[in-house]
């Protein structure tokens, strides 16, 4: 891996090829057309040049000259402000605050269940899988109400939801089983060019393995 100072790109996103948080950050990069170089690495064996900037070696990590960010949600917010078009948050402060609260809810309610299911063996994740599926089914009216998540415009919330929904088949939750609203919503997200370009080879394999 080349030294950061010798890179052609002034911005580098260090990312895992399977981590959902890395996927969210990569999706924002693609949605906004950010001129960033994406460096995939194994978070269990981070490169020395990354450890010099982020001693924890966590993924994702964004480096732009003297700026180093290593929280996915902060990276996403930074990119949205740094590259304002197309905006992923509405201009209205109240709408932005509400969107951030929704993302916080998703992070607190759905992401931990996904992580728990992925980390547990097949025989031990039944309860968590049931909880996640029931929670998504309860939210069905939200997905049916508009084109995207509580909006007719694609937003930062959708950048959080798309990587999450993409991983459901890999944990044994079939998206069509969640109803037409979520199925159509997921299809709209997955068909976006930016989403397809955000996928790593490992992430493409996730869905391919569930369509055999």
My answer on whether omega of the bond before 60 falls inside 30° of 0, hence cis, is: yes
pLDDT digits (tens, 9 = 90+) for 8-67: 468 999 999 999 999 999 999 999 999 999 999 999 999 999 999 999 999 999 999 999
Confirm or reject CATH 3.40.1350.10 for domain 4-82, answering yes or no.
no
Q: Where are the domains of the chain?
A: 4-82, 93-199
In terms of DSSP H, where are the helices of the chain?
Answer: 20-32, 48-51, 72-82, 93-109, 111-119, 126-138, 140-145, 156-167, 180-190, 193-198, 201-209
> How buried is 5 (Cβ within 10 angstroms: 0-12 exposed, 13-18 middle, 19+ buried)?
exposed
pLDDT digits (tens, 9 = 90+) for 138-190: 999 999 999 999 999 999 999 999 999 999 999 999 999 999 999 999 999 99
In angstroms, the CA 14 to CA 11 distance is: 10
Assess contact for 142 and 149: CB atoms under 8 A. Answer: yes
Q: CB count, 10 Å around CB of 84?
A: 11
**Structure-block tokens of residue 50:** 């990354």
pLDDT digits (tens, 9 = 90+) for 54-91: 999 999 999 999 999 999 999 999 999 999 999 999 88
Task: Indicate the fold that domain 93-199 takes in CATH.
Answer: Glutathione S-transferase Yfyf (Class Pi); Chain A, domain 2 (1.20.1050)
The CA R_g of the chain, rounded to the nearest whole Å, is 17
């Amino acid at each position: 891996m080349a030294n950061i100072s010798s890179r052609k790109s002034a911005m580098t996103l260090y990312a895992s090829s399977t981590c959902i948080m890395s996927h969210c950050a990569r999706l924002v990069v693609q949605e906004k057309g950010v001129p960033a170089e994406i460096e995939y690495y194994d978070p269990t064996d981070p490169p020395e040049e990354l450890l010099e900037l982020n001693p924890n070696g966590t993924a994702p990590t964004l480096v732009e000259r003297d700026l180093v960010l290593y929280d996915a949600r902060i990276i996403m917010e930074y990119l949205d402000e740094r590259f304002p078009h197309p905006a992923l948050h509405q201009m209205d402060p109240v709408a932005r605050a509400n969107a951030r609260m929704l993302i916080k809810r998703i992070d607190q309610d759905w992401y931990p269940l996904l992580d728990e299911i992925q980390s547990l063996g097949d025989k031990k994740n039944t309860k968590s899988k049931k909880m996640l599926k029931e929670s998504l089914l309860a939210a069905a009216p939200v997905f049916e109400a508009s084109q995207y998540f509580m909006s007719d415009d694609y937003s930062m919330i959708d950048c959080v939801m798309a990587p999450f929904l993409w991983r459901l088949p890999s944990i044994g939750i079939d998206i069509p089983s969640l109803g037409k609203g979520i199925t159509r919503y997921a299809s709209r997200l997955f068909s976006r060019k930016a989403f397809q370009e955000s996928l790593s080879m490992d992430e493409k394999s996730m869905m391919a393995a569930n369509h055999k």
